[in-house]
Amino acid sequence: MKRVEDRLKFHGNERVKRIQEVRKRNRRKRRLWVGLLVMAFLVAAIFMMDQKGLFELFFDHRVQYEGSSEYVEVLSEDGAVSRNALITLSQTLINHPYSLGQESLNLGKPEGPLGSAAFVDWVYYNLSGKALSAGSSSAGPLATKIWENSTSIMENELQPGDLGFTIIPEGSKVNAIGIYLGEIEGDKVFIHAGGVQYKAEGLPEGRIVISFNNVLKRNNRDLNGHKFSPSAPSTQFVYYRRPNVTFIE
């Protein structure tokens, strides 16, 4: 009788051991799959953060631009403005420093920082040979002069080269201004010289960036897909105007 009990006990232990081994293997498989899923989630999250410019916001504060920063003369002889040339020229100043009230104007790449309206004037001066502000007799701020040398349009009429303003000119109030370039990912974007909200390492007052307009989304690409960093928050341009210049496609 005792021998029978010993045999039963032995077989029972073997069965328990096999069950325990199967459970261990299953636990290892579950841990492996969970690890793979977590890794896939982290990779996808980092990819999405990078595409939306959030990766630089949290982890990378270096000032970089993959596109061309080389100035190429595109000055027209008849004062007409090519929209394609405007996009190319304006993007060469991505990450160029901003400074409030800086209104220097020259042909070629500016050496010092530019203000919001001064950047717009610089672009058109280097395209047509004439600053937009020169078309106004107003004694007001530079942005007001540019406003007066342009005509009102609706948002759905925007074309590359048109302008965006944050407020209607009033006295000496600061009016941010940008140039419409087109769409990225189906959303409208403006290139503009932005203040401290757009600051970066070594550029505490701000810089020139391309921003989505009136959407809660950061941007870190130009119209050619070239990346710049750090990414830029959105703008709030609500008044749109077309400069009084002749455009060519």
| Bridge partner list, 111 | none
Phi-psi region of 95 (alpha: psi -120 to 50; beta: other; left: phi over 0): left
> What pLDDT was estimated at residue 179?
98
> Half-sphere exposure (CA, 13 Å, Cβ side) for 175?
25
Asked if 177 and 148 count as a contact pair (C-beta separation under 8 A), the reply is no
**pLDDT tens track, the chain, 249 positions:** 556 555 555 555 777 777 777 777 777 777 777 776 766 666 555 555 555 556 565 555 689 999 999 999 999 989 999 999 999 999 999 999 999 887 778 899 998 999 999 999 999 999 999 999 998 887 789 999 999 999 999 999 999 999 999 999 987 788 999 999 999 999 999 999 999 999 999 999 999 999 999 999 999 999 999 999 999 999 999 999 999 999 997
Residues 6+ apart with CB under 8 A from 224: 67, 91
Cα three-residue angle 99-244-194, rounded to 5 degrees: 20
> What pLDDT was estimated at residue 16?
72
The closest alpha carbon to 135, from 146, 124, 121, 125, belongs to: 146
The closest alpha carbon to 55, from 229, 191, 241, belongs to: 229
Instruction: Look up residue 156 and give its two tokens.
Output: 């759905």
Q: What global pTM score does this model have?
A: 0.78
